[in-house]
Each structure stands twice: as structure tokens, then as C-alpha cells.
Structure 1
Amino acid sequence: MRELYELIDLIRPAVQADGGDLVLKDVDADAGTVEVQLQGACSSCAISATTLQAGVQRILKERLPWVTEVSGGVDEEMDWETSAAMGRGGYTPAW
């Protein structure tokens, strides 16, 4: 289980660099399932589903043989002020 937490910590900075965050919500090691949640700027990002599938899911399945399914979504309950404070994402031009 420690390896899972280490991988989440490895992935998080890439998501945070775009103004979001990645949170581990639930794990069932016996069933091989992991549930994560994207927060912040990810809630309004058009490619958040791709981040979950091509990024998080791919990495976890490749590096942890017991992981068979990664599910999750975006935190749509986060208030706009907290979300805005996390940043606007990687597509915001630097002035």
C-alpha cells in the first residue's frame, strides 16, 4: 500500500502545476480498485478525463500489478474561491 501513496505523491506535482490537485479517495486492494479525485482547476479542464485515464490510471496499473481499475472524477463541490486560489491551469498564458 505504501507504493500507492508514493505514486500518488509522485503524480500530484504535475497536476498541481496546472492549478489542480489529486486526492486518493478509496482503495480496495483485494478487488484491485483505486478511486481518486481531481480538484481545483481540474474541475473546469476539458482534458481532466484524459488526465485520469492516460495519466493516473496508466501509471498506477503499470507500476502496481494488483491495480485492475482506477476510477474517479472531479470535485464539483469545491467552492469557486478555493478553486481559483489553486490557479487557472497550464493553459493560462504567462504575462
Structure 2
Amino acid sequence: MTIDQSTFQDNDRTRDVFELIEMIRPAVQADGGDLALVSVDVEAGVVEVQLQGSCSSCAISSVTLQAGIERIIKGRLDWVTEVRGGVDESLDFESSYSLGRGGYVPRADY
């Protein structure tokens, strides 16, 4: 489940995170992916996001999360102590490929 603007309940910090995610999304969408806000724990300073679409098959999705999204969120919101991220792996290769330029990397099940 992802957070949308209607779930804020007048929480300024949650609103700030949502607005920042909305600012970042076009860069992720340009490569056929998407970025969703999953949860915000204001007390602990933890934000959870999920990469979706072609990001599920992209070889550098972890770099996008750490070097891009986490850096931006922590750099602009000083109360955020941790950004957790995941990738929506529910798409198969064909569905992911149809969304854009994400680089497909077959997953090895070890």
C-alpha cells in the first residue's frame, strides 16, 4: 500500500516527504519506472519508499535508492534518519520492458 495525499491528517512532516517524492518522481518516470511513498514514521525519522515499473528489472535500482532518493530526502529533511527502499518485483520481464528503458537483469535464485 502506498500513501497518497489524502492520508496526511495535517501532518506537516508527512506532507513534506510526499511533496519531495512528487518532485523526484519525474526523473524515475523518465526511465519507465515510478516511485511510491509507502510509509513515514515521523517519530523515528524513517521513510519507506518503493521503486516500481521498469525499476524492478534495473541493475542500478539500489544505487537509485541510496545515491539518489535517500541522499535527496535526508539532505532536504533534517529529521529523516533512515530511508528504506524496496523494489516492486511483481512485474515479469515483458511488462517491465514495456514501461521504458530500464535495463533488464535476470534474477539468479541461489
TM-score, with structure 2 as normaliser: 0.74
Deviation at 1:83, TM superposition (A): 3.0
Matched residues, percent identical? 68
Q: For residues 93 and 45 of structure 2, what CA distance do their matches in structure 1 show?
A: 34
Q: Can you give the 5+ residue segments of structure 1 that lack an aligned partner in the other structure?
A: none
Give aligned pairs, total.
90
Secondary structure of 1:31's aligned partner: coil
Q: RMSD across aligned C-alpha pairs, in angstroms?
A: 1.5
TM-score, with structure 1 as normaliser: 0.85
CA contact (8 A) 1:34 1:71 kept: yes
Q: Which has the higher contact order (CA 8 A, sep 6+)?
A: 1
**Larger Rg belongs to:** 2
Which is further off, 80-89 or 48-57?
Answer: 80-89
Mapping 1:55-70, distance limit 5 Å: 55-70=68-83
Q: Kindly indicate whether residue 38 of structure 2 is the aligned counterpart of residue 25 of structure 1.
A: yes
Q: For residues 29 and 81 of structure 1, what CA distance do their matches in structure 2 show?
A: 38
Q: Can you give the 5+ residue segments of structure 2 that lack an aligned partner in the other structure?
A: 1-13, 104-110
